Amino acid sequence: MNRIDKKSPFKVPDNYFDHFDERLTQKIKTKNSTNGLITPHGYFMKVESEILNKIVYPVQKAQAKKKHLWKIITAAAAVVALFYFNKNIFTPPENQLAEFFIEDYLTYNNTYEIADYSDYYFETDNFLENYESITIDDVLELRLYGETPTNLNLFDDE
Amino acid sequence: MEQQNQFIEALTSPDTQEVAFKKLLNDYKEKLYWHVRKIVIDHEDADDVLQNTFIKVFENIHRFKGNSSIYTWMYKIATNEAINLLNKKSRQLGVSNEEWIEKQVAQLESDIYFDGDAMQLKLHKAIAKLPEKQRLVFNMRYFEEIKYEKMSEILETSVGGLKASYHHAVKKIKNAINE
């Protein structure tokens, strides 16, 4: 027995005891950092997907705009075609009136408004009646006061 | 700083922002959750605030000037969102924010999302009695170990003011626990 060295054969990493207290305190603190407050099981996985579902990336927005653009182009083309093919039926008080009207309509309304208005435009039976009620003076007066043709309520439901 | 600038660029560029935002969410969701949870106490409220925070971060990332770290900026948004929620809830009940928090803490014992012991409950009750600023400072310093300099940017208060708040908070909590 006396021949056996009493010195411990076990070793520890260098400077192991130097910062032991600090590390232990840190560990206890980390463990208790929520101080009893807990979350539902799997909450952090769930919340991540919930947040991501609420985010709309601009790329998607751009795609939506592109989709909407086709509607706008189609609507605008249809408006122009309608005026072109029906110019004899309308028999506007002045030829210039139609030009003024279309020009103002396209100038003062943004593309989204045009698309929205055109939906109603194609549905209404009263368009011809409304159209005929406008005179060249009305349009010129509107221009003079900086008003827009939409103020004539041509496309309003009311 | 260079690394942060690159990350901000990734967050604002349409080609990379989805991946970058997922990383941001992954890196900060837990830290921000616990920061918010200690302010509002209730899990459902913390969940609302966390989601609103990330949505605001995403929507306003182009406004981030880069004067501070993105972490500081996000903490600021989360803190404001949490306080706004407290204001809204307490206004609805016609009580002060402190009274609202005390009410929340009083319900902790029966809260399924609380598994603390008597001592932890006592600590929460003591924290709940602190004025709002001291409560924020105590939580950020004691639990989250946020440096005073960072805290100063988040709460827009001088370092000296924060140290004084923490000192008063600790004193009051010690007294409350020893009662």
> Distance from CA of residue B120 to its chain's centroid?
19
Burial of A136 (0-12, 13-18, 19+ CB in 10 A): middle
β strands within B64-137, DSSP E: none
Q: How far is B55 from chain A (nearest CA, A)?
A: 7
Residue A130: the pLDDT is: 52
pTM higher than 0.80 for the full model?
Answer: no
Residue A126: the pLDDT is: 47
Tell me which residue of B11, B21, B30, B35 sits closest to B138, measured CA to CA.
B35
How many angstroms separate the Cα of B20 from the Cα of each of B10, B51, B99? 6, 17, 40
B59-88 pLDDT, tens digit per residue, is: 999 888 888 889 999 999 999 999 999 999
Spell B35-68 as b/e; 16+ CB within 10 A means b. Answer: bbbbbbbbbebbbbbbbbbbeebbeebeebeeeb
Query: Does the pLDDT at position B24 exceed 60?
Result: yes
Q: Do the Cβ atoms of B14 and A62 come within 8 Å? A: yes
Query: Does the pLDDT at position B49 exceed 80?
Result: yes
How many angstroms separate the Cα of A118 from the Cα of each of A4, A77, A91, A92? 102, 11, 21, 20
Per-position DSSP letters for B73-94, written without gaps between them: HHHHHHHHHHHHHHHHHHHHHT
Residue A74: the pLDDT is: 73
Q: How far is A69 from chain B (nearest CA, A)?
A: 20
Residue A131: the pLDDT is: 52
What's the average model confidence in pLDDT over B148-171? 95
| Separation between Cα atoms, residue A123 and residue A101, nearest integer Å | 19
Residue A70: the pLDDT is: 67
Contact A108, A149 (CB under 8 A): yes
Which of B19, B29, B42, B49 to probe the A interface (max A CBs under 10 A)? B29
Residue A133: the pLDDT is: 57
Cβ count within 10 A of residue A15: 8
Of the two residues B173 and A140, the one the predictor is more confident about is B173
> Distance from CA of residue B67 to its chain's centroid?
20
Q: Does the model's ipTM exceed the 0.90 cut? A: no
Of the two residues A140 and B23, the one the predictor is more confident about is B23
Q: Do the Cβ atoms of B120 and A36 come within 8 Å? A: yes
The segments of chain A whose pLDDT lies below 70 read 1-12, 16-17, 20-33, 59-70, 72, 82-158
A13-49 pLDDT, tens digit per residue, is: 777 667 766 665 655 555 456 778 889 989 999 999 9
Residue B4: the pLDDT is: 86
Please report residues of B whose CB lies closer than 8 A to that of A54.
51, 55
